[in-house]
Amino acid sequence: MHTIDYIIFVVYMLAMLGVGFYFYRKNTSSEDFYVSGRNMNSWHIGLSVVATDVGGGFSIGLGGLGFTMGISGSWMLFTGLIGAWLSAVFLIPKVSQLGHQYKFFTFPQIFNHFYNAKVALLAGIISAIGYIGFTSSQVLAGAKLASATIDGLDIQWALIIMGIIAVVYTAIGGLKAVIYTDTIQWLILIAGLVFIGIPIAYNAVGGYDVIKATLAPEYLSLTNVSWHQLLNWSVTIIPIWFIGMTLYQRIYACKDEKEAKKAWFIAGLFEWPIMAFMGVILGMLAKVAATQGMFDGITDAASMDSEMGLPILLSTILPIGLMGLMLSSYFSAILSTADSCLMAASGNIVTDIISKFYKKELTQKKLLQLSQIVTLAVGVFAIVLASQMQNVLELMLYSYAFMVSGLFVPVLGALFWKKSHPKAAFWSMLLGGSTTIGLILSNNKLPLNYSLPEHLDANIFGISVSLIIFILLSNYHYKKNNNGI
């Protein structure tokens, strides 16, 4: 990178930190910090939602899918469109009203309302663990991008630098800083991809004829994906729209139900087809460049990490100045997800865990300070966790799966099934989440894992266990109560 690129990049990062410091002076309560004073409009929320959900991890991850399987990788974010619109129709009408009526800050408070404090505590723990993992995936995505584009920057140092930037402005600025920076970051990313990344990469590799001659035919087909891959993406990504703490915070932050639903429709449309195809197309162009030998002397194209293809492509083809702009746009996407997930994990820990054991009632000033300290601590832990992982998309989907398998069935039961019972919710969360994480950690070493048919995701089995337990225990307690036993 040239000095001009570094200057552009540093100025951008300082601007993001400036937004955090601005809202640090504006925040006066934990309500300001966690739900933006509950007065945000649909466009700010909608862009923040899609920036958070797609963000840097999926941006880098989509590039990896485009590199390995072509445009069929875009189907992964089609599940995001479905999830967004389903939750707009079925979830928001119930949750928005409750959030404003009872002044909720977090997703597990829904469980406290419908079940009890014990169930809410477990939900808070599961959500916090999942979002710490998700925050780590975003920091890792940023580190991969930085180490591939900045000469001499080791990935561990990149982790530290990226982590510090994301953690600091989030810890001091709260959700309003996150939402406003998300809006800026998403617009920068879209502009960077549409006007800089894709056109220059397309011309650099030689245009459509060269692309068609270089790639196998399945790269240009929308059917180059198996049914079990589509199922795995669906059961992992669609349910997150019903249990994602980052999404509940934004529902509560909207002025009303109408604004929230509009925001979700906006977010779904930006996810697919807009971001989905832009991400995989850039990954495909990176594959063409690697095959043509454009990465020779930088990395071994035959053995390179597919997720590094896109960052290396950008560092190879972009001229002075534009490299700084494009790098800023991708870091924008990464930070927009990292900050939101960090806020979610912090909210779970402060509101759903610490507050359950803290005897004294804290003043708004003390609660705000505690929130900022916890956010900082969680961010540091996420950086450490990221340093132990290698694959961004894998870490993201594991975090998703852990939360989904434990929380999806109980929240549907709470909102839509009158027979739901607290004990059923508790044990379905515990056993569903444990099943998924157990299958993941087994890593094909236990006999049970060898029997998983058709490469199905462990999350499918976790949700199935959760559903069975929930139905059996809810029906048992419903009959017990009705029969007076």
Looking at residue 256, what DSSP letter applies?
Answer: S
pLDDT given at position 389: 67
Query: Would you list the domain boundaries of the chain?
Result: 3-393
CA distances from 212 to 74, 222, 239, 273, 288 (A): 18, 15, 36, 22, 9
pLDDT of residue 30: 65
Cα separation, 178 vs 19, whole angstroms: 9
Which amino acid makes up residue 159?
L
pLDDT averages per 10-residue partition of the chain, 485 residues? 81 78 69 74 87 67 89 93 96 93 91 94 89 80 73 75 74 73 76 83 93 94 91 89 90 92 93 89 92 82 76 82 74 72 86 78 75 86 78 65 88 94 95 86 51 72 95 93 69
Cα angle at 231 between 263 and 304, to 5 degrees?
A: 90
pLDDT at position 359 is 61
SS3 40: strand
> Which residue type sits at 153?
L
Radius of gyration over alpha carbons of the chain, in Å?
22
Superfamily of 3-393 according to CATH: Sodium/glucose cotransporter (1.20.1730.10)
Burial string for 405-430 (b: 16+ CB within 10 Å, else e) reads: bbbbbbbbbbbebebbbbbbbbbbbe
pLDDT at residue number 447: 44
pLDDT at position 204, please? Answer: 92
Three-state secondary-structure class, residue 420: coil
Q: Of 464, 465, 401, 451, whose CA–CA distance to 234 is shortest?
A: 401
User: Using CB atoms within 10 A of its CB, is residue 112 exposed (0-12), middle (13-18) or buried (19+)?
Assistant: buried
Structure-token match 């993941």, residue found: 440
Asked if residue 417 lies in contact with residue 476, where contact means CB atoms within 8 angstroms, the answer is: no
